Structure 1
Amino acid sequence: MDLKTATALRRLRLISGPEAVSFLLLMVCSVLKRTTDFNAVPVMGMVHGVLFILYVVFWADAWRRAKWTAGRGVLFFVLSVLPTGGFFAERMLRRESEESVVAARADQAAAQGAGA
């Protein structure tokens, strides 16, 4: 995996958690708006909207760079529209990046062993 692909996956991983939290907070604010006088929906709506747009931009970049299958790309998009899906996306992306680091180190060690 090259550096640009790893960076794209890292960006998507780092935005997925805050996007999921903002979605949950927006849902809480929506309930509070209807049950109390507290109305933070306009603010949380804007925060969540910005984070969601960033997620979609980073998702498209990661899909293009990582050359995911259509099913895998759609999975990460579906996870973004589920209330807690961002947490699952973050976990999957972290696992994928860790596996790529292990593979890169193994390739590097093999190349050094062949050159010695």
Structure 2
Amino acid sequence: MSPRLTPVRLYRLVARAEAVTWALLLTGMFLKYVTETTELGVQVFGMVHGVVFIAYCLTTVLLWVDQKWSLGRLVLGLVAAVPPFATVPFERYAERSGLLGTDWRLREAPAGALERLAAWLLRRPAQGLLVGLLAVAGLTGVALVVGPPA
């Protein structure tokens, strides 16, 4: 039986995945711009990093709602996705500070529309995962239409 996906485990997973994809993207950029051997690494790892970046941001928003983070902590968590590897120290800070519970608060008592939506996602893990994947795919599609950051 697999361990339950608690807020701590989920955030650790996405924060570290975001850092790993940063490393892959930076490797691709090194190959493209320094060695001038290939741009395939930027094309592939850039897309992978973009998808994981969006997943990290959505997870941060979910935790902001579920764990009742302040708006400042939400902004700090989202900003941590921008510099390379900053999601890992933020995730560690969040865990040490008690911002990541060992259980999902909203499985019990949601209040307000945003909390009810988060509670629905958390109470139905399969549907919640599907909605999360669709949200990541949709936002990735929007990012592809808008284009890369300038």
Question: Structure 1-normalised TM-score?
Answer: 0.70
**Could you say if the C-alpha distance between residues 83 and 49 of structure 1 is closer, same or farther in structure 2, counting changes exceeding 3 Å?**
same
Cα distance in 1 for residues equivalent to 2:79 and 2:45: 21
Q: Secondary structure at the match of 2:37?
A: coil
Cα distance in 2 for residues equivalent to 1:14 and 1:7: 11
Query: Can you give the 5+ residue segments of structure 1 that lack an aligned partner in the other structure?
Result: 1-5, 102-116
Cα-to-partner distance string for 1:5-48 (whole Å, 9 max, x where unaligned) = x8334312211011012113212211210222132111101110
Q: Secondary structure at the match of 1:81?
A: coil
Q: CA RMSD in A?
A: 2.3
Kept after mapping to 1: 8 A contact 2:16/2:87: yes
Cα distance in 2 for residues equivalent to 1:60 and 1:18: 17
Measure how far apart 1:95 and its partner are: 2.2
Question: Structure 2-normalised TM-score?
Answer: 0.56
Cα distance in 2 for residues equivalent to 1:51 and 1:62: 16
Q: Which residue of structure 1 lines up, in the alignment, with residue 88 of structure 2?
A: 87
**Could you say if the C-alpha distance between residues 13 and 34 of structure 1 is closer, same or farther in structure 2, counting changes exceeding 3 Å?**
same
* Counterpart mapping for 1:53-72 below 5 A: 53-72=54-73
Cα-to-partner distance string for 1:38-81 (whole Å, 9 max, x where unaligned) = 32111101110111111011111000011111111111111111
Query: Can you give the 5+ residue segments of structure 2 that lack an aligned partner in the other structure?
Result: 103-150
Q: How many residue pairs end up in the alignment?
A: 96
- Which has more radius of gyration? 1
Query: Would you identify which runs of 4 or more consecutive aligned residues in structure 1 move more than 3 Å?
Result: 96-101
**Could you say if the C-alpha distance between residues 43 and 93 of structure 1 is closer, same or farther in structure 2, counting changes exceeding 3 Å?**
same
